[in-house]
Structures are given as structure tokens and as C-alpha cells.
Amino acid sequence: MCASVLNVQVIVRKMVKKKALLVGCNYPGQDNELVGCCNDARRLCTLLKTRFGFPGENIDVLVDDNPGTDQSTHANIRKYLEKLVGDVQSGDILVFSFSGHGKLLGRSNDNTGWNEAIFPNDLTNPLTDDDFRAIVNKIPAGVTFTFLSDSCCSGGLIDELKEQVGGAEGGKNSMQQIRRVYAGQRGLPLSMLIGQLNNSGLNFTVDESNFLTAIYEKHEGNASITVTSQQPIKAACKKDDVGILLSGCESWELSIDEHGDDPPNTAHGVFTKAIETVVCRSSKSPSNKEMTNAVRQLIQSDWDQTAPLLDDDGKEVKDGPQHPCLYCSDGNADKVFICDFV
């Protein structure tokens, strides 16, 4: 009897990687300390594991309310971001979240007209929309990179992404005179940043005219691309851009840091809580556009949250709900938010 040989074709199916970096900055002991940002990171960690099937070992959490762990500093955020976007290929799913202070660092020539920035725990060294554009441009096509930013002035934090959900009343000029914010907002007053820089050992006095130069002098090669370039940056999106930004508000708005009924245990960012609420109420994962619109509805109508802004004289110049936004390519707007539920 002749043995027949079967040519068996073995198809190896790549396991999709699900990885996340979740950052919370409460800035304990500093002026304008926040209360809900570290909780945001932990709540999102639970959500990613229970609803989206992220393995716990693939989730890094950086917070500054637990001295025994890696802190949410500029250097650590950069290091863990490189880890997040490294060793990935088409089909993999990445999530980055930041809860903490945000601010505009001046005009730019991009689609929002501003350089938006987030501030790690070591407040004098921000990360900007230009930095996140550079990070996203490293990611291979077919990977999903979702950035959730629960910070003030967070619209446009990935440079040159198209705004798919936005268009709140206000405008690019409405932030020109704003310097101070109510306690409980996640905006960093310029006076606080200048004070931090003046106490950092520089050999000159820092003011509104030279604070970007001061950041450069303090951090040099470790500073943001926006700071080190010393000139306007016009970053290019890749044709198959993988970046998806859900921001807690428009570029010129504030995000709310809510104390809750039993602080600090119940403290949270309103935007992060809204995402958690929509996910928990949904039987299947919504699209990015559906998620953004649902979160807007919760904050604006159901919860009636307001985020007032003040001018230099302490007078309100605007009082209304924060408006979460979606920035991504046309193709990603209707794709599922993060990934299907498990």
C-alpha cells in the first residue's frame, strides 16, 4: 500500500496585540493640584481589561499619587510611548490616555492655529501636538492608535488631523487674553508655569515674552519639538494616517476636574467618566464618531456641566459646556472605537 502524502498548508494567524499607556497627573503638593487624573488612568485600565479585552500585562499606568511606581514625568511618558508604538504591525490596537493640565503654547500654522500642549508631572517640560504627530508618524499602516486626552485645550493634540466632530461656538482668538482659570479646571495658568521656571535654577528672569526660551534652556535636547525648533513647524500627515484623537474639549476650552461625592475616591475627569458611562451603557462598541457625539450629549445636556473661562481681570468671558471633539482621517471616523467589546 502506497502511503499518500498530504501537503498540509499551515496558516499562522497573527494574534492582534492590544497595548495601552495610561497617564494621570494630579501634581500633588503643587499649586493648581488636581484630584481626579490618577483615578482616570486607573478607571480606563479597568475598562480596557473588562470591556475591550486588553491583557493587564500590556497596560502601563503612570501616575504621580503612588511613590512606589514610575511617575508620570516627561521622561517616563516619552520612554513608555516609545515602548507602546514599538514592535507593532498592521491590525494591532494601541491606546494612549492623558489626564492632567493642558495649555496653549502660542500660535502655529497648523489647522487649529495653536500649539496645544499637555504638562507631565514635572510641569516645566510639556509635550505638544508636534511631538504627538512625530510619534504617530512612526506607527505602521493598519495599526489603530487612539489618544484620549482629558486636559484643557486638548483639541488638535495630534497635529494636522482633520476635525470630524467639533465646531463649538468660540474660536481661535477667544484664548488670547485668558490667563487664569477656576480651581477644578485642568488648565495650567501661564503665571504658574512662569513661576515654576523661575524657581528652576535658570540664570535669567522668565516672563511671558521668553518662557518658551526658558523651557529650551532648562531642558535643551529633551524638550518638545515645538520648543527646540525655534520656528513654526508644518508637520505632514501620512496618507494612511493611524492617529485618532478624542479630546475632552476644543483647543480654546477647559476640561473639568470633578471632585465627586467622596473625594478623592470618586474624583474624576468629566470627559473620562463620560467615556466610561457610554461604554458601560452600550451593548456593542460604538464608532469613534458615535462615541464622541454620545459623550458630548452626556456632558452638555444630561449632566449640564459647565467650564467657565476668566480674563486677566477675573471676569468671565465664556461659560458653557466643554465640547469633546474627534480628530482623525475620514476612514477612521466611522471605525469602531478602540476595538470590539469582548
Please report how many Cα atoms fall inside a 13 Å half-sphere around the Cα of residue 114, on the Cβ side: 22
Q: How far is CA 331 from CA 136, 140, 237, 240, in A?
A: 16, 16, 14, 9
Q: What are the E-state strand segments in 154-213?
A: 163-165
Q: C-alpha grid cell for residue 17?
A: 496585540
Q: Reply yes or no on whether 101 is catalytic.
A: yes
In 3D space, the residue among 257, 120, 254 whose CA is nearest the CA of residue 196 turns out to be: 120
Cα angle 158, 164, 169; round to 5: 95
AA letter at 110: D
Q: Reply yes or no on whether 268 is catalytic.
A: no
Q: How far is CA 203 from CA 125, 192, 216, 236, 267, in A?
A: 18, 18, 13, 37, 39
Q: One of 38, 45, 101, 153 is an active-site residue; which one?
A: 101
In 3D space, the residue among 156, 108, 114 whose CA is nearest the CA of residue 325 turns out to be: 156
Q: How far apart are CA 267 and CA 262, in angstroms?
A: 7
Cα angle 124, 65, 84; round to 5: 70
Q: One of 37, 45, 152, 237 is an active-site residue; which one?
A: 152
AA letter at 106: G
Q: How far is CA 162 from CA 89, 98, 284, in A?
A: 24, 20, 26
Which residues in 300-311 are b (16+ Cβ under 10 Å) and which e? beebebebebbe
Q: Are 140 and 81 in contact (CB under 8 A)?
A: no
Residue 247, SS3? Answer: strand
What does the DSSP assignment read for 252-280? T---BEE--SSTTTT-EEHHHHHHHHHHH
Active site residues: 101, 152
